[in-house]
Structure formats: C-alpha cells, structure tokens
Structure 1
Amino acid sequence: MWPATVLLLLLPCLLSSADTGTSININQSETVNMDFSDAPFKGQKPLRGVKGQDTCSIPCDIAVKLLRDEKHSVCGQLQQSLVAFERGTRKLITNMMEEQQRSLDVLSNQVTELMTKVQMLSYDIQRSSAEMYSMKSVQSHGRDCSDIKDSLVSVVPKIPSGIYIVHPEDTDSIFEVFCEMDYMGGGWTVMQRRMDGLTDFKRPWTDYADGFGNLAGEHWLGLKKVFHIVNQKDTRFQLHIALVSQDDVTSYASYDDFHLDTETQFFSIHLGRYAGSAGDAFRGYDQEQNQDTAPFSASDVDNDGCNPFCSIGNRTVESCSTRHNQTGWWFNQCGLANLNGCSEDAEQNQGQRTHILWDTWRQNGIPHSIKSVTMKIRRITTNN
C-alpha cells in the first residue's frame, strides 16, 4: 500500500494513464510514459494540464525515492516504537521484581522475628519448668503399692490397677511402678512381667540393676528399686509368682518373706516359707539346686557358683547366664528356676534350658511350657 503523500504526487499520472490508456511502469531507470517537456521543476507547479491531455511531471526514480523514504520513515517509527515498548516492558518487569523482592524481604523479616519469639518462648517454658521442679519435688502416691492401697481404700470405692509413683521410706529414690489392685486383695507391686515376648530379657548387669521394659506390659522393675521397697524399716514383704502355661493352666508359688541384699553383695535373694501349687523351684530338690541366698548374675557379672565350671546333665557349663541365653537371674550352679529365660530361642538351643523355667511345675512328669509369668511383692506386716 502506497503512502498518502506518494499517492497525491502520482494521482495526475494515474488519471492521465486512465484517460489515454497508457500504463505506467515504474522503474528506477525509466520515467512515466508521458510528455514532461513542458513540466517545470523549479518555481513552477509540479503538475499542469494540456488541453486534451493530462501530463505527469514526476519522474519514476523520484517516486521510487519517495516510496523508499516513506518506507524508511515507517520502519524507523516502528523500530522506535519497538525500542520504547522493550524499554517499558523491561522497566515494568524490573519494578515487579523489585516489588517481589521487597515483599520477600518483609516476609523473611517477619519469619525471623517469629522464630526468635518462639525460641524465647521455648526458653522461658524450659526455665519455668526447671524452676518449678527445682522448687517443688514430684509428689508420690505412697511408699509402695501396699501403702497406696491402704491410703486410698477409705476414699476410693474401687482402686484401679495402673502406674503409680512411689517413694520408699528413708530413700531419695522416687520412681514409677505398676500396682495390681485387683489380684488377691490388691496392693501388689509388680517387679517382673512376661506376657508377649516384646521385651528382650537378654541384658547386661546395669539393665537388670536399673530396670527395663514397659511398666504396663513386659518389664523388669530393677534390682535397685526392689531393694529400696523391700528393705523399708519395720516392713516385711511377700513374694508371689503367678504362672500360666501354654494351654492356659494357672499355678503359683509364694514366699512369706522376701528381701534382697545390697548391690555390693550382688542383690542376693532371701526367701521365707514356700506355699503354692507350682512347687518350690527356687530351692529345688537338693542343696546343689538351692537358689535361695544366691547372688544375682548376668552375662557380664558371673556369680553362679560354676568356678571354673559346673557339670549339669553330663554337660560342662562355665556360665549359667550364657546357658540361659544371656539372661540374668539368681543362679546357683544354674538351678531349676529362671523366670527371665527367653522361650523364643528354645528351638535353636535344643537340650539347653533357654526358656521361662519353673522346673518343679510339671504335668505327667514333664515341666509345663510357660506362656506368661508375673512376679509381685506386697507388704504383709507393719510394726508402728
């Protein structure tokens, strides 16, 4: 499409060509096919008419030049428009990025301030908790489960079994225990429970001394804690062992006096008179099997009396704990009782007693396969 200014200049030529039937062929080397002899160039009008004939006074090279100049002008304007658009777009994007960065900076500062406040709040809570516990000791429920039962029996119609906090007399030890309040009159402090095999009883001496497991499930309360409970002043404790076989037969063994020696004496066990239906496996059938007064042994502390070894059933045994699958107990040349044995390893150690063992509880001369056991203690007399 030709620009308007060029069309105005060529209009007479186009009209003349239309009247005379002459065509215009625009080339740089040619001129319009008309009479330009009388056409003035300077100081005269560029177009004039002759009677009977219109003439075009613009050479073709000039028309082409005008078209080229017009094209260059349009291209220049377009280029300037593109440059201006590019600059505007860049500025807009830059402004948007700067605005986003400012927003991110504000958000980052807010997050930093919030984290600082959270840390300060956490520190205040920890400091308050530390101050609270340093100022106020944990309140215990009683000296042991028997004491808790006696103190609550006149207040609560039915005392629930569960986890309680005890503080044995004349000690600095405060710890949690599981109290059985439904079994045989209640007041029992559970010192050991086996029921589902979820707790590993293959433990070193320190674990047996401090305790391990879940109080609400399988656990060993710990020799230190049991010592503090049963050695309270003017008290006597009964030990009760409740057994359940794989075919759900129940039995028990009870000792009317139970206490432990100190840790320096390896928590040696002392038992009173036996009563029950499971037999007195602690004492066995002869003195060599008697585990009463025996010190406690573990895989890393050997007090089992096999020095340097024992002969049991034509077998040489150097460590009863090793023979009983790395468990801890009051071994005396191994003996007939180990309620901490690991029954799941019995098939892997054929011929070795690596299961929960209470050898005097038998059926048709064969020891029962024990599924679960609970050892619990309860005070039986108090002299005020």
Structure 2
Amino acid sequence: MKKCRTHKRKLTSEMSDEAGWRYYSDNFIPVDCKDLQSDGYINSGVYEIYPYGTMTSPVRVYCDMTTMEGGWTAIQKRVDGSVRFNRTWTEYKNGFGYPEQNVWGGNDIIHQLTKERNSSLYVSITLHNGTTLYEMYDTFSISDERAKYKLFLAGPATGTLGERMINPGSSKRKLSGMYFTTRDRDNDKYDINCATLSETRGGWWFNACTYTFLNAPWYPAKWKRPWYPAVTIDSRIVRTMMLVKRQ
C-alpha cells in the first residue's frame, strides 16, 4: 500500500521504518479531563484518566465537558444520600463512591491533579427548584498526605454562591490554609473535632468549623451550612459538584 491514514496526526519523529513498513506508537496518556477534551472527547460522562502519567494507575472520573468551556475533572459529586460521606482518613485518602453519581475522588488523586499545575476550582450547588449556584476560584491545590492535604485557594473568585472559603468574614471560618480533617484525624482549630459534630459529619478542610461544607449527611438530615448564607439549613440540595481544571 502506498498510503495509509492514522487516527491521529503523528510526528515523523514518532515513527520508524523497517523493511518498507512505517511504524508508529500512540503515547497519548490523558492525565485529566482537559487532556481528553483536547483529544476530541466532547461529551460529559465517565472516563479513565491517568493522573500519575503512566498506564499502570487508571482512575475512573466524571468529566464535565460543557461547564465554562469544559475540560473539568470532578473531584466531588453528590446527587443523593446513597453514599455515606462520614468516612475515615484512609477512605478520603483513596477515594470512595461511584463517579456516575456520588463520589469523592481521593485526596491523593486531588493532590496529583493539582500539584505543580495552575488549576482552578469550580463549585456548584443545585437546589430542588432547579436553580444552580456556583463559585469559581482562580487558583486551587492541595498538598500531599505528609502535609495533611493542606488547602491552597486564591482569587479572583466569581459566581453566584459568594466567596466564603478565603475571606468569609471570620478568621475562624477561613478554609484556605487549613488541613484536612476526618472523624479519626482531627486537624482543625476547634476544641472538638468538627468532623464528628452532628451537622458536620464528614471530611473537610475545617477551621473552627466552617461556613461552607459539601460533605455533610444528605437531606433530610440536618445540613446546617452547605454554603452560608446563600444555601442554608432550609435549602434542599439535589446535587453538588467540585470540579478542577488546569489552566
């Protein structure tokens, strides 16, 4: 054959000749959903990514390909109370749930997705009346386990939820710079472990404690401050999402 067509454009440096044949290898490894979008995947859904950059550690994630130009990787998603979020340090470290519906992506994976990259965070809360409120932070990352998955957030922040994680109006509620806390690992600044209180049972970057918390027991359980004051105890939530995307 004098002509052939590959599925993707290949550089001649990626090809080799042998006995009249031209060989090429496909070394494309999607690290995140933005890589998949760049490779032509345009539909939101569950995909495999390789955050560690090798084919040996695939991770199933939900990719949002429509919000804010798409390419977002979901690190948290909730649509009902079928998956319990009151979990241990190890469970939050490794991740749990199902990316199709309810999931925590895993703190190790979140660190891998955001380390040494300029990444943004998009948070959304959808209410039972169909209203979706959101807040997007320009800069987001978390440290590794040795540094207790410390949260780093920076603005500008824009959206309809209101910025409540960096400058919430109270130094005791500021989350940027906080360590991650679970029911069995108390790293917050409150006298009692915030992750064990009735209205805040679940892992989070608590201070003492927080005005924003998306991992609480699901409705009809008491969810005191999902995102105060925009979303309060009287607001019925039908979906939450936390999305990250490198810039």
Same fold (TM over 0.5): yes
Normalised to the residue count of structure 2, the TM-score between the two structures is 0.80
Q: Distance in 1 between matches of 2:53 and 2:77?
A: 27
Aligned position for 1:358: 227
SS of structure 2 residue aligned to 1:271: strand
Question: Residues 140 and 337 from structure 1, CA distance in 2 versus in 1: closer, same or farther, beyond 3 angstroms?
Answer: farther
Aligned position for 2:163: 280
Aligned position for 1:373: 240
Query: Between Structure 1 and Structure 2, which shows a larger proportion of helix residues?
Result: 1
Deviations 1:27-59 (A, max 9, x none): xxxxxxxxxxxxxxxxxxxxxxxxxxxxxxxxx
Question: Residues 374 and 194 from structure 1, CA distance in 2 versus in 1: closer, same or farther, beyond 3 angstroms?
Answer: same
Aligned position for 1:256: 138
* Residues 30, 36 of structure 2: 8 Å contact kept: yes
Amino acid of the residue matched to residue 163 of structure 1?
Answer: V
Amino acid of the residue matched to residue 229 of structure 2?
Answer: T
The offset of 1:288, in angstroms, is 1.8
Aligned position for 2:17: none
Question: Residues 362 and 326 from structure 1, CA distance in 2 versus in 1: closer, same or farther, beyond 3 angstroms?
Answer: closer
Question: Residues 369 and 170 from structure 1, CA distance in 2 versus in 1: closer, same or farther, beyond 3 angstroms?
Answer: same
Question: Residues 362 and 195 from structure 1, CA distance in 2 versus in 1: closer, same or farther, beyond 3 angstroms?
Answer: closer
Q: Distance in 2 between matches of 1:227 and 1:373?
A: 20
Deviations 1:98-152 (A, max 9, x none): xxxxxxxxxxxxxxxxxxxxxxxxxxxxxxxxxxxxxxxxx87501111111122
Query: Are 1:328 and 2:212 an aligned pair?
Result: no
Which of 27, 33, 37 is residue 149 of structure 1 equivalent to? Answer: 37
The offset of 1:182, in angstroms, is 2.4
Runs of 5+ in structure 1 lacking a partner? Answer: 1-138, 310-317, 348-353
Instruction: List aligned pairs for 1:43-82, cutoff 5 A.
Output: none
Aligned position for 2:9: none
* Residues 343, 356 of structure 1: 8 Å contact kept: no
Q: Distance in 1 between matches of 2:219 and 2:229?
A: 21
Displaced runs of 4+ in structure 1, greater than 6 A? none
Q: Distance in 2 between matches of 1:343 and 1:181?
A: 27
Q: Distance in 2 between matches of 1:248 and 1:143?
A: 33
Instruction: List aligned pairs for 1:71-220, cutoff 5 A.
Output: 141-152=29-40, 159-168=42-51, 173-220=57-104
* Residues 51, 59 of structure 2: 8 Å contact kept: no
Q: Distance in 2 between matches of 1:290 and 1:325?
A: 16
Structure with larger Rg: 1
SS of structure 1 residue aligned to 2:240: strand
Of all paired residues, the percent bearing the same amino acid is: 29
Aligned position for 1:12: none
* Residues 79, 101 of structure 2: 8 Å contact kept: yes
* Residues 194, 208 of structure 2: 8 Å contact kept: yes
SS of structure 1 residue aligned to 2:110: helix
Q: Distance in 2 between matches of 1:180 and 1:378?
A: 10
SS of structure 1 residue aligned to 2:196: helix
Query: Between Structure 1 and Structure 2, which shows a larger proportion of strand residues?
Result: 2
Deviations 1:233-258 (A, max 9, x none): 4x311100111123222210110000
Q: Distance in 2 between matches of 1:367 and 1:358?
A: 12
Bigger relative contact order, structure 1 or 2, given CA contacts below 8 A and separation 6+?
2
* Residues 213, 220 of structure 1: 8 Å contact kept: yes
Q: Distance in 1 between matches of 2:224 and 2:173?
A: 18
Amino acid of the residue matched to residue 218 of structure 1?
Answer: N
Amino acid of the residue matched to residue 258 of structure 1?
Answer: F
SS of structure 1 residue aligned to 2:118: strand
The offset of 1:279, in angstroms, is 1.0
SS of structure 2 residue aligned to 1:227: helix
Question: Residues 164 and 191 from structure 1, CA distance in 2 versus in 1: closer, same or farther, beyond 3 angstroms?
Answer: same
Aligned length: 217
Query: Are 1:319 and 2:193 an aligned pair?
Result: yes
Question: Residues 367 and 268 from structure 1, CA distance in 2 versus in 1: closer, same or farther, beyond 3 angstroms?
Answer: farther
Q: Distance in 1 between matches of 2:153 and 2:145?
A: 17
Amino acid of the residue matched to residue 33 of structure 2?
Answer: C
Q: Distance in 2 between matches of 1:356 and 1:224?
A: 26
Amino acid of the residue matched to residue 196 of structure 2?
Answer: T
Which of 233, 238, 243 is residue 125 of structure 2 equivalent to? Answer: 243
* Residues 149, 187 of structure 1: 8 Å contact kept: yes
Runs of 5+ in structure 2 lacking a partner? Answer: 1-26
Q: Distance in 1 between matches of 2:79 and 2:187?
A: 28
